[in-house]
Amino acid sequence: MSIKDKQFDAIVIGSGGGGAAAAWGLAYKGLSVLLLEAGQRFDPYQDYRLSTAQWEQSAFPEKSKSKSFYRIAELQKLTRQWGSLRSWNHISGPMIKDDRRLGWKYSHVRGLGGSTLHFTGEAHRLNKAAMQMHSRFGVAADWPLQYQDLEIWYQLAELIVGVSGSDVDPHRPRKRPHPLPPHSASFASQTVQQGLEKLGLSWTPNSLAVLPKAYDGRPGCNYCNNCNRGCPRKDKGSADVTFLHKAEKTERCDIQTGKTVLNIESDANKITAVVYADEQGNRYRSSAKTVIVACGAVQTPRLLLLSNTVQQEGLANESGLVGKNFMETLFWVSSGLHPHSIGSQRGLPSDSICWDYNSPDAIKNIIGGCRFTLATAEADLLGPINYAQRVVKGFGRQHKADMRKQYGNVLSVGSIGECLPHTDSYIGLDPDHLDEHGLPLAKIHSRLDTLALNRMRFMADKCREILQASGVTQLIEEYGSYDTFNSTHVFGTCRMGADPQQSVVNANCQSHRWKNLFIVDASVFPSSGGGESPSLTIQALAIRSAFFIAEQMKRKQL
Amino acid sequence: MNRHTVIIAAFSYIEEVYSKKMNIINRRAFLKLLSFCGLALVRRSEAAKIGYSAGKFPDRQTLSIYLDTLIPADITPSATELKIDELLTLKADRNRAYATLLTQGCNWLDQQARNRSQQSFKLLPENERIAIIASAESGDPRSLASRFYFASRNDAFFHYYAHPKSQTCLTNAGTPQPLGYPDHNKAPQENTTQCL
């Protein structure tokens, strides 16, 4: 084992939305930063193969260690009561044949830029009403800061990422307009808008980290609809082409890929060093005045639980809440065939959005909101392979003829809703399954409670209603979280709060106990919001923390 | 990327290299080519372990006729014209369970053909082949016939519709980049009469 001693102002662990934004914020403020990323660097021009004939045969490309290892504990039994929430396809039938919920995947990317590499690009601010869930509804926990405390940091994140969108949104008041104007709606999106209007619902341009025109050295989007396979043009504002690009330009940020952090060391009062390994198993130790953890709501609690201190099982776990309050992605997607030619392969995955049910009290008799968007890209109904397999029935000459008639005619509408924490959903360690370094894997425990299922039923019913109003005559496929654990947005496992007994970090994302330890990913979220994508809020919090750290260092308080 | 995708990527890469009539293969391309050849060798040894010779699918003719019934030629090529049969047997070469499923499925097709008209599946007229396949499609989902049908259907379409020659008359079915869809906010172009 070789160990190198290095000294930095800050070590950032993880380079997704939060880690990248923190690294940029610290470097921008003049601090020296070591950024440790377990995965590899992706080259948009080389790695994202949307110009090759095989583009549809694989999703986002995989590289060495581009997925972390984890386990999913046995999930809940499925019951007839929620039969309308089972996933199905009109050709292959029920997707889950058993009567138990399937633990499919924690959908993420380990690589420089993290899951922003495959994200859709939604750049949402949280609904301000969704930040006080405990005081208003007695569920989850209140955020220890208000929307207005975050507003300027949202602005800064939007400016760096290059966010486009509509400036009219009463739930997310803005002091400045979006840096970029909204995208024009695709023809598919316009078709759904007609349906929503019939239902008296709104459809507004979505806030997106996708450029409608050239900005900051990057070109405008050309509407290929495949953000989730990786953007080869760099018009999508993933963390690698935005925050990390700028962080590297400061020449104060040392980015190390292929470095897996194994342990965070501490003495009686502070974090002292980070121990990590490269892909060959060589070990290193680096130290810094402060350590920022940003590995996401599954791997961050794992790392903390692995980093025991003399006094405590699990670093920063004085409250016992590291890994608790896990919140997952509660989602539903319905797809159907429109009788007319739509060309729904074209556009942006979710150029418009319906926020009408986003507030926590917007759904009658159900606490927690949700939102609706076009979801044809989310459902991966963008190319002929998926049409042939999942949309067009049968085989032979008729199948070929129907392919020509139906290709591009599918409309999908999806919904993501609030997920509230409870004691049965949490992240633990699995001592029976170890990684290559002999360390226990993270184990995901998940249960959807009745409130979540009622919310999902509302989401599913509304998706079907929207499709029908949009002219869809035949549903062909539906899927959601009820029978399959498949989460992209995960939250809550190192909750932020004012009370050290009830939270892991404070409003600055600083550990209550370890003043030079910070957490800047969605694990700090006290509540998930009503379907908002979390990346922009993560980035706003991360920049805020970075600037706080810089200020503290300036005052010699860190 | 799963192993199946790796080998498809290998083939497409090799095809790309030759289709561009590259006179000089640069070092990186050559190394890539070598590594893919190594991959193929590994696959051969795996196939030998399960007593299955690469490219010697027991009833290749039945499989080919079956695939051409699933995907017949019209204004676009048939399955075998795009070598989909080879790709499926390649998968069978490295996957014992899949080889068994294809073999048993082809046996089932032949058995059904003999029950109907005392001859093998490959000798039946198209309408009778269609009737047999339709019975597999509508049968018990747990049955061998159904599992064979849906697995082979999925795989056949997976390879067939990745090929540009299959995409004639599918508006906007080409690669999403580098052009994207600048017309995304307009109604799509209608197919020409020839395509309908």
- Whether residues A224 and B130 touch (CB distance < 8 A) is answered with no
Q: Tell me the chain B residues in contact with residue A399 when contact means C-beta distances shorter than 8 Å.
A: 70-71
Q: At the topology level of CATH, where does A7-48+69-554 sit?
A: FAD/NAD(P)-binding domain (3.50.50)
Average confidence (pLDDT) over B40-45: 40
What's the pLDDT band for B18 if we cut at 50, 70, 90? very low
Question: For A186, which residue in chain B has the nearest alpha carbon?
Answer: B185
ipTM at complex level: 0.93
Where b means 16+ CB within 10 Å and e means fewer, B70-97 reads: bbbeeebbbbbbbebbbbbbbbbbbbee
Q: Where are the alpha helices (DSSP H) in A187-229?
A: 187-198
Residue with tokens 């043009």: A233
Percent of chain A scored above 70 by pLDDT? Answer: 99
- Whether residues B187 and A341 touch (CB distance < 8 A) is answered with yes
pLDDT for position B53: 56
Average confidence (pLDDT) over A159-183: 96
What's the pLDDT band for B55 if we cut at 50, 70, 90? low
Average confidence (pLDDT) over A215-243: 98
What's the pLDDT band for B51 if we cut at 50, 70, 90? very low
pLDDT for position A69: 87
Span between the terminal Cα atoms of chain A, in Å: 30
- Whether residues A395 and B150 touch (CB distance < 8 A) is answered with no
pLDDT for position B190: 74
| Secondary-structure percent of chain B, ordered helix, strand, coil, rounded to 5 | 65, 0, 35
pLDDT for position A434: 96
Where are chain A's structural domains? 7-48+69-554
Average confidence (pLDDT) over A104-114: 96
Closest CA to A91 of B141, B161, B69, B143: B141
Please report the residues numbered 158 through 197 in chain A whose beta carbons come closer than 8 angstroms to any beta carbon of chain B: 184-187, 190
Residue A503 has pLDDT above 90, yes or no: yes
Q: Tell me the chain A residues in contact with residue B157 when contact means C-beta distances shorter than 8 Å.
A: 385, 388-389
- Whether residues A346 and B70 touch (CB distance < 8 A) is answered with no
Q: Is A404 an interface residue toward B (CB < 8 Å)?
A: yes
Q: Is B141 an interface residue toward A (CB < 8 Å)?
A: yes
The pLDDT tens digits of the residues spanning A282-333 come to 999 999 999 999 999 999 999 999 998 777 789 999 999 999 999 999 999 9
Question: For A341, which residue in chain B has the nearest alpha carbon?
Answer: B188
Gap between the Cα atoms of A347 and A50, Å rounded? 15
Residue of B67, B184, B194 to mutate, interface with A, max A Cβ within 10 Å: B184
The pLDDT tens digits of the residues spanning A34-82 come to 999 999 999 999 999 999 999 999 999 988 777 778 999 999 999 999 9
Q: Is B1 an interface residue toward A (CB < 8 Å)?
A: yes
Residue A74 burial (CB count, 10 A): 9
Read off the DSSP letter of residue B54: T
pLDDT for position B7: 35
Structure tokens at A199: 């239902």
The pLDDT tens digits of the residues spanning A366-405 come to 999 999 999 999 999 999 999 999 999 999 999 999 999 9
Q: Is A88 an interface residue toward B (CB < 8 Å)?
A: no
What is the DSSP annotation of A314-381? STT-TTS-TT-S-B--EEEEEEEE-SS---TTSB-TTSEEE-TT-STT-STT-SS-EEEEE-TTTTT-
Using CA atoms, how far residue A358 sits from A10, A255, A305, A415, in Å, is 37, 38, 34, 10
Residue B9 has pLDDT above 70, yes or no: no
- Whether residues B185 and A53 touch (CB distance < 8 A) is answered with no
Closest CA to A109 of A117, A121, A97: A117
The minimal CB distance from B164 to the residues A53, A222, A233 is found for A53
Q: Tell me the chain A residues in contact with residue B166 when contact means C-beta distances shorter than 8 Å.
A: 384
Structure tokens at B23: 């006179």
Question: For B66, which residue in chain A has the nearest alpha carbon?
Answer: A396
The pLDDT tens digits of the residues spanning A436-453 come to 999 999 999 999 999 999
